[in-house]
Structure formats: structure tokens, C-alpha cells
Amino acid sequence: MENLLLNQVTEKANLWLSGNYSEETKKEVRRMLDSDDKTELIESFYRDLEFGTGGLRGIMGTGSNRMNIYTVGAATQGLSNYLKKNFADLPQISVAVGHDCRNNSRLFAETAADIFSANGIKVYLFDELRPTPEISFAIRYFGCQSGVMVTASHNPREYNGYKAYWNDGAQIISPHDINIIAEVEKIKSPDEIHFAGNKNLIETIGENIDKIYLDKVKTILLSPDAISRNKDLKIVYTPIHGTGYRLIPRELKEIGFENVITVPEQMVVSGDFPTVTSPNPEEPAALDMAIKTAKEFDADIVMASDPDADRMGIAVKDDKNEWILVNGNQTCMLFTYYIITRKRQLGALKPTDFMVKTIVTTELEKVICDKNGVELFDCYTGFKWIAAVVRELEGKRQYIGGGEESYGYMPADFVRDKDAVASCSLMAEITAWAKDNGKTLFELLQDIYVEYGFSKEKGISIVRKGKTGAEEIVAMMKNYRENPPKEIAGSEIVEIKDYQTLLKTDISTGKTEKLDYPVPSNVLQYFTADGTKVSVRPSGTEPKIKFYIEVKSPLASRTDYNKVDAKLTEKIESVRRSLGV
């Protein structure tokens, strides 16, 4: 079996030696072929880097399973071919192209722009790195049919990626995703890719769109008076070497905050992310430098954005004046509570308003919405699905917010992806509003738990890299389906939702019910008698299998917070042990 695989990858690598690839590329292929250790050769060529429903994401390097100008080129040529078929009646098809701070991001963005333009497609190319949400905004602003953001989001430094967007500014979903994949898979050789760009069809954009976008972000704010009264609020912000450096501090100052403190070492744009192991605001270590700065200045809040500034992480001071991290579920909950509460206070909450969350996000979101008469829609993980709900209800209902546990929030529909620029602005306003009401952000969070119930969540990711890792993840999901647990942490399972079969099963009766979702998805959920919820899914963008654990308890008062928090932490550990993770 191993010899067969090696023969296959060797044959594929030799095609790259004879094909129309650069000499530098061929030199790298020869090096891998000549090496005694064939691991790198196998990992680079054992498959083609898949253009999935979200685009491309992979390790940069030479080979069919790597991010390089040829895999980016095939993706762009396939997308161009599909756009020309789908919008054949338009006099001019157009796209927006942007990129983040990662190594090779500018090269890949310019390569994509050249290929689009060589295919007769007008390109709005950002002059330098920009946040992902601004690309979504630009697609909508210019009336483009599609767009591309070159980014691997918060992945490790060796990765890059390519997100494809549709004409509503959202990432592509069915049927276009499948159709585009089919077009990309038709590209078998670099000879089929039109690399020679038409400069007349490439328009450079930048500050003009920054201003329009930032002015639009200002329209989501609900408490300008609270900002004015708390303009000296001390805000520490870090872009973690990424795209947020140029717009987030600027917007915070423009909306009225006069005390925005940045972390100088992390304001340096770098795809090597020199001050962190991982540029992911979900990772506690990524905020270490910002928290250290916050201690020096006795700040009110710490905010961080990931390399492409779509995700946001925050830290606040607790009741002991110690800095603690606020997780993605809590952040989402703070946004939901604030938007609903302020709109109600302002008389602006309407019966047609709705919010959206993903299926793995805290169920406390639904409790808040239900008690306030706001309809909440559940959708699959990923903002393309949140955007799909918005698109479906456009013109009939008003979207007022939505997010997911993975540190992403979309406060308004003028962007159709998670937006750290808007989220940081809104979270700063929430902090000012809480202070106006005599509370810290931590006390506001506690009060939400007192009113709506205490929910504690934990995400666990098991990484399995390479071909064998991918096979192991498939086997794990198969086992969970075929041999589901009967109880978790001593509480029996009462319901199972399998989004692969789109069936919900009542364990006590054995009855099944169809789940109303647009397509199947490889996700399993277990619900227990004591309200525990466990979700299991392989990541669509990383070599991981993810477990999402949520446990619940009432909270009588703020003074009981630490005791109940400790009890729920212990419960989560029991759940982990039950699952063997």
C-alpha cells in the first residue's frame, strides 16, 4: 500500500517536472524526489489541495496539496470560468480582491487579480492588506458578482488560504459552491490558467473604501452619549501583527474614545507572527502581551483581532481585579443582550427583528431572545450560513445581530461575514454603557447569568495532521455514530441530532424527526436530561476534530458566581472523562 502511494506521488511530481512550472518550482520538486525521506513528497503530492465550499486553505509550498500560485491559479481560473457562465448576460463582470498579512498573501492576491482580469473580469484590488469584512463590504458596495480574500484566518504561520465570496458579500454556498468546485477540478494543467493580467481591468482601491466602510460601522452604535461620558475609557488593543492595525484603533478614536492604547510590538505587520505561537485570539497566550499592557495602564478592557480582523477576543477584570479572558460564547451573549436591551430602551425593537446563531453556540442565546420576543434562527457553523439566513429573509425581516462561539460576530448586514472592526467598536460601546450604569463588563456578564441562567462552555480540539490524521478523524466520527454513548457525566442522553442524516432521535421513544437544514453536515449533537449539550464535528478548515461542551445551572446572585462557576468547571471535566477526550 505504501509503495503504491509512493509510486502515485512520484508520478504526479514528475508531471510537475515536465509541465509548464517555474524553474524554482521544479528545483523544489527535484529536492523532494531526491530526498531519502519521502514524507514531504507524499504530504505535498498525495492529493490535490481541495477547493472546498469555503475556498482553499493549506500549508504554503510546492506541490498539488500546497498553497502556491498554481493551486491559487487553478482556483481563480475555475471561479472565472464559472462567473462567465453564470453572469454571461452582464456587460462587465466584476470582483473585489483583498489579502491579509500572511507571507505570500500579496503575491497570491495579485496572481488572482491578474487571472481574473486576463479572463475579462474587472478587479477592484486593495492597495495593501485589509480586514476580511472590508472585502465583503466592498463586494456589496461596488455591486460585484464575486470576490476573493487571501487569508488563512487564525491558522499557524505556515498556512495560507483563499476565501471565495458571492455577490451578496457572503462566502459561497450551494449550488454555486458545488458548481465552482466542478469548474476548478477541470483545470488539469498550468497551461489552462491565464496568468497574464490585463492591467486596464484592475482598479486599485484603498482609503476611499476605508472611509465609507468605517462611516457605515458607526451606524450600528446605540449609545453615543455613553461613549461621550466615558471617552477616557482605557482600551488596550492588539491586531496580533495583522490587518486590524490600520482600521480598528482609528475607528475607536473616530467614535469618541480618546484613550486607545496599542501593543507596539504587535502593531508590526508580519506573517511570521513573531510574538505569538498562534495568532488566534481563542488562544490565551495570544493576549498575554495585551494583558500585560493593560495591567501597566490599569485599562478597562483588552481587545484583540486575528490576522484578517474578522474574529475578536477580549479580556476584562473580574471581581478580584484580576484579568480574565471572555470566551466566544460569552462575547456573543454580551452582544445579543446589549443589542436587544438598548433597542428596547430606545423603542427601536420591532416584531420583524431577528438574530442568528450557529448550532454549536450557547443555548443561552435562545433563552435571551425568547424572553424578549426576538426570533432566533439556528444554522450551521460558519458565517456563510448566518449570511444565508439573512439573504433568505432580506426585504421581509430585519437582521439585528448574529454570531458563533468561535469568536466571531456580525453586528449588521452591510457586511456578510464576521467583523472584528464593527465588533470592537460595539464592544467598546458596551463597556462604556456598562460603566454608565455603574457596572464593569464582568458585572454585566454576571447579571446576564443571574437573569437568564448560568451556562458554561468549553471547546476541545484534537489535532490529527496529514493523511493518517484525516483517516483517524473519519474513524472517530464513524464510531460516535455507530456506538453513541448512553449517558454523559452520569446524565442519560435524551436526544441525538445527526446533521449528516438530518434526523433528530428521541432516545426514550426511538422516534425520529427530520431536521430542517438546507444540506447535510458532518455534525453530531447529544443532549442529556440535566441540560448538558455536546456537539462533535470535524473542522472544515483545519486538521482537527472539535468537541463543544455546554453545561448549565441557575445563578441566584453575583455572590454565588464563583461557587457555581467552580461546580460547572468540575461538571465539564466529568463530561470530558465520559467522552474520553
CATH number at residue 563: 3.30.310
What percentage of the chain has pLDDT greater than the value 90?
91
What is residue 259's predicted lDDT score, i.e. its pLDDT? 98
Domain boundary among 140, 171, 205: 205
Q: Is the pLDDT of residue 465 over 90?
A: no
Q: What pairing do the DSSP bridges indicate for beta strands 146-150 and 94-99?
A: parallel
**525 in a structural domain:** yes
Q: Dig out the grid coordinates for 297 from the structure.
A: 495602564
What is residue 541's predicted lDDT score, i.e. its pLDDT? 62
Domain boundary among 164, 187, 205: 205
SS3 content of the chain, % helix, strand, coil (to 5): 40, 20, 35
Measure CA 276 to chain center. Answer: 19
Q: Say yes or no: 252 and 323 in one domain.
A: yes
Give mean pLDDT, residues 463-467: 80
Q: Say yes or no: 426 and 470 in one domain.
A: no
Give mean pLDDT, residues 38-61: 90
Range 246-249 contact pairs with CB under 8 angstroms and sequence separation of 24 or more: 246/129, 246/130, 246/210, 247/130, 247/131, 247/134, 247/210, 247/213, 247/214, 247/309, 247/421, 248/303, 248/305, 248/309, 248/420, 248/421, 248/424, 248/425
Q: Say yes or no: 175 and 187 in one domain.
A: yes
Can you give the three-state secondary structure of 225-247, one letter per residue?
Answer: HHHHHCCCCCEEEECCCCHHHCC
**530 in a structural domain:** yes
In b/e form, how buried is each residue of 11-50, taking b as 16+ CB within 10 angstroms?
ebbeebeeeebeeebbebbeebbeeeeeeebbbbbbbbbe
Q: Would you say 521 and 500 are in contact if contact means Cβ atoms under 8 Å apart?
A: yes
Q: Is the pLDDT of residue 555 over 60?
A: yes
Domain boundary among 427, 452, 477: 452
Q: Say yes or no: 382 and 395 in one domain.
A: yes
Domain limits for position 436? 213-452
What is residue 540's predicted lDDT score, i.e. its pLDDT? 67
Q: Would you say 449 and 561 are in contact if contact means Cβ atoms under 8 Å apart?
A: yes
Q: Does the annotation mark 64 as catalytic? A: no
Of 153, 425, 455, 578, which is the active-site residue? 153
Q: Dig out the grid coordinates for 524 from the structure.
A: 453530531
Number of domains in the chain: 3
What is residue 114's predicted lDDT score, i.e. its pLDDT? 98
Lowest mean pLDDT among 3-17, 134-148, 416-430: 3-17
d(CA 299, CA 297): 5
d(CA 212, CA 137): 10
Q: Is the pLDDT of residue 1 over 70?
A: no
**24 in a structural domain:** no
CATH of the domain at 365: 3.40.120.10
- Among 438, 520, 99, residue whose Cα is nearest residue 269: 99
**Tens digit of each residue's pLDDT (9 = 90 or more) over 83-103:** 999 999 999 999 999 999 999
In the chain, the N- to C-terminal Cα span, in Å, equals 31
Q: Would you say 336 and 372 are in contact if contact means Cβ atoms under 8 Å apart?
A: no
d(CA 516, CA 500): 12
Q: Say yes or no: 265 and 235 in one domain.
A: yes
Considering only the C-alpha atoms of the chain, give the largest distance between any 2 of them, rounded to a whole number of Å: 72
d(CA 337, CA 221): 14
- Among 520, 529, 533, 386, residue whose Cα is nearest residue 459: 533
Can you tell me whether residue 463 is helix, strand or coil?
Answer: strand
What is residue 440's predicted lDDT score, i.e. its pLDDT? 97
Q: Would you say 354 and 379 are in contact if contact means Cβ atoms under 8 Å apart?
A: no
**Tens digit of each residue's pLDDT (9 = 90 or more) over 271-325:** 999 999 999 999 999 999 999 999 999 999 999 999 999 999 999 999 999 999 9
Q: Is the pLDDT of residue 161 over 60?
A: yes
What is residue 4's predicted lDDT score, i.e. its pLDDT? 86
- Among 541, 543, 580, residue whose Cα is nearest residue 463: 543
Lowest mean pLDDT among 49-63, 68-82, 164-178: 49-63
**Tens digit of each residue's pLDDT (9 = 90 or more) over 323-367:** 999 999 999 999 999 999 999 999 999 999 999 999 999 999 999
**445 in a structural domain:** yes
Give mean pLDDT, residues 204-209: 98
**516 in a structural domain:** yes
What is residue 568's predicted lDDT score, i.e. its pLDDT? 97
What percentage of the chain has pLDDT greater than the value 70?
99
